[in-house]
Amino acid sequence: MGEEVVRPLSAAQRWFWLIDQLSPANCVVRLRVRGPIGAYRLEEAANAVVAEFPLLRAVVTDGPSFVTSADPHLPVLHRIVTDPDEWHTVFDDQLATPIDLSTASGRLIDLAWRPGTCEEHHDLILVLSHVLLDGRSMTALGWRILACAFGEEPPATSRPPIPAPDDLIPAAHTGLLRCLRANLAGQLTAVIRRATKLPGVLPPLAIRRTRTVIRTIEGAQLAALRARCQQEGVTVNAALAAALAGALGDLARPRRSGVAGIGIPVDLRSRLHPAPDDDEPGMFTAVVPTFVPYGPEKSLWDAARTAKGQLSQRLTRGADLSALAAIRYGCPRTLESGRRTIELIDRRAPWNVTMSNLGRLTQPETPEPLHISALTVAGTNPCASALTVAVATLDATLSITFCYVDTVLEHATIETLADHTVAPLARGISHPVTTRH
């Protein structure tokens, strides 16, 4: 198949591997495909993608280290469902089900609705380990699998392996003092400004389970939101952060002012050297903190401008690159020391909400007709996080998944939080927001 990934896990990969030993670190994407999918097409496509990317042929052994799998594969599971919304239950179950990295990097589940009829559709749920991949890599692999399943000829040879993401960070951003300064700045800001967190008590890591509440903004409503953001000089991402901050304020400190601490994962690909290809699988993100104001005197758009400005300033200073580089200076070597460190960070994290926006995604062009009618993304909250808001846009639908730790708050409370996040964005627009339960 070509060259393979055979090396110890990098510091960042080891950090997520340690977390994954205590609580599943999974990322999940659901793709709804209208119409039939030919027999064994998904298995053949999964095999083709594994043959293309060396990282997918690697398994993790003691060390922890990557070695080449004796049986490189991505398992494909099929099920016929009797309820077209059953995918949401399976979706949540897959967030909580560990991935055995000693055997494979993940799995693909095909939920078929009314196969052989004009109503046939397939909800494909791709589950991959956050030890290896970020959300953007996950969706890119989903596209590659579907492209191969719908007639695209796979490459004849494997791509060469690339170094670990944290080994591609420019040297100017990897110094100890720079890394400390970047990390401490966010933590001190959170303490000094008393950043609002999602209230509640996290259960122990071993029994932590992530569940989801989903909202969408569609069609004319999404077009109106984009137009308003452009008019106000902000991005949709900044507007979402401002709306989420307001909803957190409504929940934790109603009718009062403050700032919400929200971690924003940033795609580093273009800033690494050499820059990986856009569809290269890997963990190419780092979390940058933002402190977004909320309160009765603060408009959504003023808060969005603050969020956009903070993120821009931190990226200009290279805080994203330094955040990823900093892991090498503090990552524990063993599972026992890692357990103590992870549990300490989990208890004392200065913010516990993350918002990850994959932006606008475009389905692959394929030789055979392919109709993807829905896309939903999610990630677990294995450490120092009570809520991850995962966002992606496909065609004229923006999907927002509120991934929350079960038992921290009631499901109905998260439903209200989701509504309070979307309502300011939809205010004044006649088309209703879509709710999924």
Average pLDDT over residues 57-78: 97
**pTM given for the model:** 0.96
DSSP 3-state of 175: coil
Average pLDDT over residues 177-204: 95
- DSSP label at residue 409: B
Decide if 41 contacts 149 (C-beta within 8 A): yes
**Tokens, residue 416:** 């209200």
Q: What is the pLDDT of residue 427?
A: 80
Q: What is the pLDDT of residue 2?
A: 65
**Tokens, residue 361:** 């995604």
User: Can you tell me the distance from the alpha carbon of 138 to that of 375, in angstroms, rounded to the nearest whole number?
Assistant: 12
Decide if 7 contacts 65 (C-beta within 8 A): yes
User: Can you tell me the distance from the alpha carbon of 9 to that of 66, in angstroms, rounded to the nearest whole number?
Assistant: 6
| pLDDT above 90 as % of the chain | 96
pLDDT tens-digit readout, 17-27: 999 999 999 99
Could you give the domains of the chain?
Answer: 7-149 (3.30.559.10), 165-357+384-436 (3.30.559.30)
Decide if 191 contacts 350 (C-beta within 8 A): yes
User: What residues form DSSP beta bridges with 61?
Assistant: 65
pLDDT(430) > 70: no
Chain center to CA of 43: 25
pLDDT(248) > 60: yes
- DSSP label at residue 196: B
- Please give, one letter per residue, the 3-state secondary structure of 208-245: CCEEEEEEEEEHHHHHHHHHHHHHHCCCHHHHHHHHHH
Q: What is the pLDDT of residue 426?
A: 84
Confidence tier at 436 by pLDDT (50, 70, 90): low
pLDDT(219) > 80: yes
DSSP 3-state of 432: coil
Tracing tokens 């009765």 back to the chain, one arrives at 296
User: Can you tell me the distance from the alpha carbon of 15 to that of 208, in angstroms, rounded to the nearest whole number?
Assistant: 18
pLDDT tens-digit readout, 89-140: 999 999 999 999 999 999 999 999 999 999 999 999 999 999 999 999 999 9
pLDDT tens-digit readout, 272-313: 999 999 999 999 999 999 999 999 999 999 999 999 999 999
Confidence tier at 143 by pLDDT (50, 70, 90): very high
pLDDT(433) > 80: no
User: Can you tell me the distance from the alpha carbon of 313 to that of 305, in angstroms, rounded to the nearest whole number?
Assistant: 12
